[in-house]
Amino acid sequence: MEAIVRMQGIVKLYDNGVLANDAVDFSLRPGEIHALAGENGAGKSTLMKILYGMEIPDAGTIAIQGSPVHFRSPQDAMRRGIGMVHQHFMLIEELSVTENLFLGIEQHHYGWLNRKAMVQTAQALCNQYQMDLDLQARVDSLSVGKKQKVEILKVLLRQATILLLDEPTAVLTPQESEELFAQLRRLKEDGHTIVIITHKLDEIQALCDRITIMRHGKNIGTYDINNISKEEISQKMVGFDVDLTIPSAPISHTEPLWEVQDLSLIDEEGKKLLHSFHLTLHPGEIVGLAGVEGNGQEELVECLTGWRKPTSGTMKLKGKPISFSSVHEARQQGIGHIPSDRMRFGGASSATIFENLMAYELTAKRHLPWNLSYHRQLHQQAKQRIQQFRIDAADEQQTLSSLSGGNIQKVVVARELSQNPLILIANQPTRGVDVGAMEFIYQSMREVRDRGGAILMVSSDLAEIFALSTRIVVMHRGTITAVIDQPQHLDEATLGQYMLGVQRQSPEGGAV
């Protein structure tokens, strides 16, 4: 079949010396869903940004339907029917859905904005692709899944026939991911060609027709999805066999390590966000917290890590009452935190990798006189962490914002796990990372567990919840609907019922 897109010999060398694309060939067939997979920093996003006109290659050629093109901007690519949905959405939060959709292509009537026509056009598009959106709502009021729908509609409204999606499910719940897959299949049936950058091997096999695997800036190969196994994909992505299992460990029946009792949170408008939440963590335990996004998980994590003060409730650490009113105080108690939003809360994007990796050490010594020897020691530790956590960076002086999303996640995880926390609250710890990094994060979490610490893991990846959890706690509307002491006897369908609040295993406020 004749390729609709053909990229040949693409080279991209950044000013910092990183060779992101090394003579890459890549092609797309009309009407296919094509996975682009590889480690964080393998060059996947760069290649797609070149195709979208956001980056200009140092060498190589691009042809669309057999005709050579030279894109110098996204506008050039959009004129040839190429649209891109980025991993971190490019929406103006203060504007409405309709205003975001038509930004730059507004419809006018006698010199005035024709809002009615724009709403009608947007509604027709929503109906066509079965995307349920409140077109008058401000974007900052939408869930992550609905924001992504806005991004997809933006490119469809601009007549894109080739869609590039960068980690489209990295921030979605399982239900939102399934909804997205159904929409992408409809787009494929409508004649669209789709590229998905993803690390999730189950998604690749369930959705895609072909896969191109990249490693260290090179194209390792392109395969029909029916002719390659998940194990082969992961091995080709990282260059070695990957083991994502964490062997179970005997749970200590000694005194609880951490106890949370009757935790409640009421917002300024009187709405109950958390209601009589109970949690107990024992040494050597990984408790998985499952729930549909927006049911209190974020608020719970904020209360447990010092970001937010609960309305009521008590905590005990090793049997002794504790309280804290800041992240710093929580950390002093031995509580580590991997936040779900690595860009907003996980790191300082304009600071260097060194400053992000060594933030706690730098904070602890900020009142001491300048010590050149200690500063050299910190730089050496930062280099060791970069190597240990396989962070793909030229050196520790790169800014955090210059890294791929997955490598930013590695920086956050490296900083938190290097503190040897007694309690680790891991909120979406492997979101957007490749299987190699995922394996290392799992191993690091196991080390926390094996030395007698405890982990509360919040994850929207049900496979991860099942694979790692000693127990599973399910949340719905700020309280507990189920506590699963033997996750191996639970199926995903039943877990989904608990997550949606359709079934309840325990009474409201029941103890964990």
Q: How confident is the model at residue 105 (pLDDT cuts 50, 70, 90)?
A: confident
pLDDT tens digits, residue range 198-220? 878 888 998 999 999 999 899 99
> Are 215 and 240 spatial neighbours (Cβ–Cβ below 8 Å)?
no
Q: What is the pLDDT of residue 455?
A: 94
Q: What is the pLDDT of residue 111?
A: 82
Within 10 angstroms of residue 182's Cβ, the number of other Cβ atoms is: 12
227 closest CA partner among 218, 236, 219, 215 = 236
d(CA 333, CA 319): 13
Q: What is the pLDDT of residue 250?
A: 61
DSSP string, 424-463: EEEESTTTT--HHHHHHHHHHHHHHHHTT-EEEEE-S-HH
Q: What is the pLDDT of residue 104?
A: 87
Kindly list the structural domains of the chain, giving each domain's residue range(s) and its CATH number in brackets, ordered by start.
Answer: 5-238 (3.40.50.300), 255-334+421-512 (3.40.50.300), 346-419 (no CATH)
26-35, 59-68, 365-374: which range is least confident on average? Answer: 365-374
pLDDT tens digits, residue range 421-451? 999 999 988 877 777 778 888 888 888 888 8
Within 10 angstroms of residue 397's Cβ, the number of other Cβ atoms is: 13
- Across 292-301, average pLDDT: 87
**Coil, strand or helix at 380:** helix
71-80, 131-140, 494-503: which range is least confident on average? Answer: 494-503
Q: What is the pLDDT of residue 27?
A: 97
Q: How confident is the model at residue 509 (pLDDT cuts 50, 70, 90)?
A: very low
Mean pLDDT for the chain? Answer: 87
